[in-house]
Chains A and B, each alone.
Chain A
Amino acid sequence: NAGVTQTPKFQVLKTGQSMTLQCAQDMNHEYMSWYRQDPGMGLRLIHYSVGAGITDQGEVPNGYNVSRSTTEDFPLRLLSAAPSQTSVYFCASSYLMGGNTEAFFGQGTRLTVV
């Protein structure tokens, strides 16, 4: 099993550009989520999904879109990049068994918006 795979690992964008961060898992996990990690701010939840076709907003959803057309994939779209979106982004997935369980994280994407 590859686990949770994120691409790309690094990305530089110009202000106003759009892009999609890819996330795929091969563990048949129902729950998938996106976090951003900034110094001193911990891991802040952007969007999450409890299954194909179901998504919901987290703490910091503005400027980001997600969709969940399959169990395996959960892409994060930046509509119009801003310098405030410079961050490290992590995708995570987990089983749901009467509640959440261990979350497995991807290796992260370091995004810089100039």
Chain B
Amino acid sequence: GENVEQHPSTLSVQEGDSAVIKCTYSDSASNYFPWYKQELGKRPQLIIDIRSNVGEKKDQRIAVTLNKTAKHFSLHITETQPEDSAVYFCAASVSGSEKLVFGKGTKLTVNP
């Protein structure tokens, strides 16, 4: 079945710097790749997603890139702010089964 690996597990940056989180997936049939943000004590919420027919997607300070050949995708956050501090999860889903499998998460800390 699908396996999603996420790196790094923790990431600390200075306010204003960029942050990059990387994920790899095992099932070449996966075609949907969302990213979720979970603040302390809260539920995960979608911040951006990408489908396999697109190589890059941007939404203000966040962007996701997808390399289908290498089976990896990345989250990029620019001009980080303290409120970006949270745990970020990547996930992958295969059309047909729709099973959504998550990575283990990255704890991002943005230091003021």
Contacts and interface: CB of A to CB of B under 8 A. Distances in A.
Contact of B1 (A43, A59, A108): A59
What size tier do the contact residues of chain A reach?
20 to 34
A40 to B, nearest CB: 7
Interface residues of B, number: 26
Contacts of A41: 104
Contacts, number: 64
Contact of A106 (B6, B43, B93, B97): B43
B104 A48 contact: no
B-side interface mostly = strand
A50 B98 contact: yes
B98 A40 contact: no
B100 A33 contact: yes
Contact of B32 (A43, A45, A59, A100): A100
B43 A105 contact: yes
A56 B102 contact: no
Given A99-B51, A102-B49, A45 B99 contact: yes
A43 B95 contact: no
A41 B101 CA distance: 12
Interface of B: 1, 6, 9, 31-32, 34, 36, 43-46, 49, 51, 89, 91, 93, 95, 97-105
Q: Sorted from nearest, which 7 A-B pairs have the closest CB atoms? A: A42-B104, A99-B95, A100-B93, A105-B43, A43-B102, A102-B46, A42-B105
